Amino acid sequence: MQPTEESLQAPKKLPEENSALVLFVLIALLLALFAASFAWGRYPISLGQLFRVIEAKITGVPSGLPAAMESVVFNIRMPRIFAALLIGSALSVAGSTYQGLFRNPMVSSDILGASSGAGFGAAAAILLSLGLTGIQVSSFICSLAAVVLTLLVGSIVERDGRSSGLSLVLTGMVVSTLFSSFIAISKYVADPEEKLPAITFWLMGGLSSVGARDLRIALIPMAIGFVPILLLRWKLNVLSFGDEEARALGLETSRLRIFLIVCSTLLTAASVSISGMIGWVGLIVPHLARMLVGPNYSILLPVSALLGGLFLLIVDNVARCAFAVEVPIGILTSIIGAPFFVYLLVKGKKGWT
């Protein structure tokens, strides 16, 4: 091909050529914020006291400080910090994966109905007074059930067995709407003084209910979902070129696609079942990551994970520290996410959004 004048111009730097720097900065920021988050909170703990509490925990020698202080550091702040990191990462990785699988940068982690399913599971459990653990288990199961329903209906819609992705996305929307109406029914029959506020509270999302034990349990499906995606991440590049091209390049797309959907769904379901509905993270973080390092999943996926954790940790620190009354984290992510999304649309740089 004759080099045209334009093509001979020195190409501008590709975003992925910044990846080493971006990775370094992200990890540094993450470590710094991780450490700092232990010092922030509404219960006053000085840095000196913080170190004494941690020292006491490590050495086993009593610090002489109030028991409440140790509880604040290890029972409140630590699980929340880890929860924010893990859930932020999980939702972002799931969102990135879905965007590649469905070749659609506008889909997010809840595209197949996982969030609405989880919401209904939680609402039902609250109605049945199942307690915190019951709520988490029920929302996890219903979240998976919603996605399974989407896949089943989707496979009927696409009878020739090959998935174009679009009908699955549309089916996901239908199933989401269905489960949203189940949520509405639950709210309709809920007692307005006790149960209804509890359902509303759960739906708005928050990490205040996440304990260390819940996190340890949620870590299992998260790891099962995360590791395969990380190992297969380069293949997502190929899948994002569409089914026929990916098949011609040598991928058994149907099996791979279902496998990756299952993994992403595990990530999403495990997250929303302990945090409630946290929107936008799975949509905007992948975009942000793509702006930083480009679309190649080899680097995009790890950067999404780091950025998602960082983002949710920042937001959750605001949610738990800034005001006397805790702000639901889902509301904060929407407040940040919606304008950012408009910015993406306005910016409209071809192919980047």
Partner 1 sequence: MDMKLSLDNVACGYPGKTILENLSLEVTTGEILCILGPNGVGKTTLFKTLLGFLNLHAGRITLDGENVQGWSRKRLAFTIGYVPQAHIPPFPFSVLDVVLMGRTARIGFLDSPKKHDREIAARALETLGIAHLSRRVYTEISGGEQQMVLIARALTQEPRFLVMDEPTAHLDFGNQVRVLQKVRQLAALGIGIVMTSHVPNHAFLCSSRVILIQRHGIFKTGTAEEIITEENMRETYGVNVRLSAVLNESGTEIKACIPLLVQNPLEDQGLLAAC
Partner 2 sequence: MKPLPFSLRAALRLLLTAGALGLGLPQTAPADPASRTVTDMNGKVVSIPYSVNRVGSTGAVNQMVLMLGTPWKLTVVSPANRDNRWMRRVYPGIAEAAAPFSGSDVNMEELIKSKPDAIFLIDNSGTHSSFKSLPKLQESGIPVIQVHLRTPEEMKQAVRLVGETLGPQERQNAERFCQEYDAILARIRAKIAPLPCGERLKVYRAGGINGLTSEGGNTITTSWIEEAGGINVVAAAGIQALGASITMEDVLQWNPDVIITMGVAAKEAVLARPEWKSVNAVRNGRVYVSPVGVYQWSVRSAETALQNLWAAKVIHPELFPDLDMNAEVRHFYQIYYGCELSEAEANEILNPPK
Contact positions toward partner 1, by CB under 8 A? 1-4, 6-8, 11, 14, 16, 99-100, 103-105, 159-160, 162, 231-235, 237-238, 240-242, 244-253, 290, 294-296, 298, 350-352
Task: Tell me which of 22, 26, 76, 299 binds partner 2, using CB under 8 A.
Answer: 76
Least separation, in Å, of the C-beta of 327 and partner 2? 8
Tokens coding 121: 């599971």
Question: Does residue number 71 form part of the binding site for partner 2 (CB under 8 A)?
Answer: yes
| Closest CB 117 distance from partner 1, rounded Å | 26
Using CB under 8 A, pick the residue from 326, 334, 340, 341 that binds partner 2: 326
Structure tokens at 180: 């949203």
Whether the CB-CB separation of 179 and 119 falls below 8 Å is answered with yes
- Work out whether 190 is an interface residue with partner 2 (CB under 8 A): yes
Least distance in angstroms from the C-beta of 321 to partner 2? 8
Of 78 and 106, which CB lies nearer to partner 1 in the complex structure? 106
Residue 208 found at the interface with partner 2 (CB under 8 A): yes
DSSP type of residue 194? T
Residue 97 binds which one of partner 1, partner 2, none, with CB within 5 to 8 A depending on kind? none
Q: How many residues bind partner 2 (CB under 8 A)?
A: 43
Radius of gyration of the chain (CA): 22
**Cβ distance to partner 1 smaller for residue 248 or 321:** 248
Nearer to partner 1, 253 or 268 (CB): 253
191 lies in the site for partner 2, by CB under 8 A: yes
Burial readout 230-264 (b: 16 or more C-beta within 10 A, e: otherwise): eebbebbebbbeebeebeeeebebeebbeebbbbb
Residue 172 site contact among partner 1, partner 2, none (CB < 5 to 8 Å, cut-off depends on kind): none
Cβ neighbors of 90 (< 8 A, separation 6 or more) are 222, 225, 226, 267, 268, 270, 271, 308
Which of these, 23, 11, 95, lies nearest to 293 by C-alpha position?
23
What is the 8-class DSSP label of residue 18? Answer: G
Q: Which of 298, 323, 338, 341 is nearest to 96 (CA)?
A: 298
Smallest CA-to-CA distance from 117 within 83, 136, 135, 141 is with: 141
Closest-CA residue to 144 (of 99, 105, 112):
112
Closer CB to partner 1, 209 or 254, in the complex:
254
Quick check: 318 binds partner 2 (CB under 8 A)? no
DSSP class of 183: H
| Residue 111 binds partner 2, judged by CB under 8 A | no
In this structure, the number of other CB atoms found within 10 A of the CB of residue 205 comes to 25
321 or 345, CB closer to partner 2? 321
Rounded to the nearest whole angstrom, what is the least distance from the CB of residue 272 to partner 2 in the complex?
15
In the complex, which residues of this chain contact partner 2 (CB under 8 A)?
41-44, 66-68, 70-72, 75-76, 126, 129-132, 135, 187-198, 201-202, 206, 208-209, 211-212, 320, 324-328
